Structure 1
């Protein structure tokens, strides 16, 4: 497998951190060896060579996906623990609180970067395999989604039914109406509605009468002037006739709207098309009479 620049960068970081750990350990091991009356350089060199060798061998085996025996892993972690302890002891001499923490942090960083390097070289290119915990978590989430979808569908199904509060309000209003109407209706509500008749004035052209010789007519004196009581004669209403053309146009427009809607249009819908309230009623009545026929 071709290595990426990131792999080599992480390898360099691991080498640098391991070098820092080895140098600190070398100095601190030598200091500890002097306290134990041992050869400081021999003791420090032996410890550091052992740790570096185990780190390199184990890291190489893991990076190349080869067998890593248990004794190698046990020896590596034992030497790492010893080196970490020596570093914490040496840094403790410099600072009683911060020193041990820094020594532990340096060794932990080296172990973390070494593990990251092995992962980048062996398993970084492989697809993620879900663990049992992740599979269980996804299954629970899917179950919650299914339950939520069922609840939403049920809410929509309930919403298509008449509202219960509206039914109660309508029932109360109906009972109140029956109670009030049971005592009888006033005359105003029982009279027959007056039919609205639409009429338009018709202008008549009076032909001029032919010229004739003037006739001498006697002057007529009104009877009222000579003492007789007369009732006023009723005035004749102007001559009107329905506007058949407007009626036909209204019915035609109502038929077109009926074909578009698939039902008899309402008065408000016809009035939105430009018809007056009267012609809208006329058109609706005509369509209803055709359906009954």
Structure 2
């Protein structure tokens, strides 16, 4: 995993390519590689998957810059910026179809190059977040439709160990989010009248192990795992988004039991009453964007409304 954003250069003039390479380094970008033809570029980009490609629109090879950029856009969803000294109208019309993220005129100005790169990276990141948010909301719309349908037919939602239906509706949400696992924890009351929580529904990707039969995640209290602060936040409707390394030391046990390193935890309310919470977890330390967290909040609210519909 590269610490700096890596940029790939496609330029058939060695002197120009090397000059661009040194400029990028001075701007604190990594240079993933250099190719002098579209064919070589496609092979290397498939392997390296850089953050961005600087593409000479005129390549003296059988695959020109426009054709290579079009394939990169379709196959890898990597932003491309064209480098050009000139371009005729027909070439520009072809270039538009590839949806480039900008143009830099040669000989280039360093400040202009930096500005165009930063704008392209920002635009691509925002587009990616919007696509992910929309995918999450589309997935949850199917889940809500299913929940509303069974609510008319069933007295209660089936438990996951009796039916795979809950897992089936959580799966598209997990895939849209690119999460490792989703867990739904239900609040209940024990014989002494104290609130307890249990993991009752779960979806996991293939590399995760199930936690459904972990006894430490059955009938536990927030205080048992030093999560009283979490309860105070959740019952107020707040979202907890954290990583294992940034959690207070005494609150890490919950993530450790789940064998995860990050998660977003949101409260579920049914008819304005705290019902439990849902968590979206990962084995890597991932900080979700505000758009992703907002999409998960909407998701949780819709699930709570559908689960409470009778």
TM-score after normalising by structure 1: 0.20
Bigger share in strand? 2
Larger Rg: 1
Bigger share in helix? 1
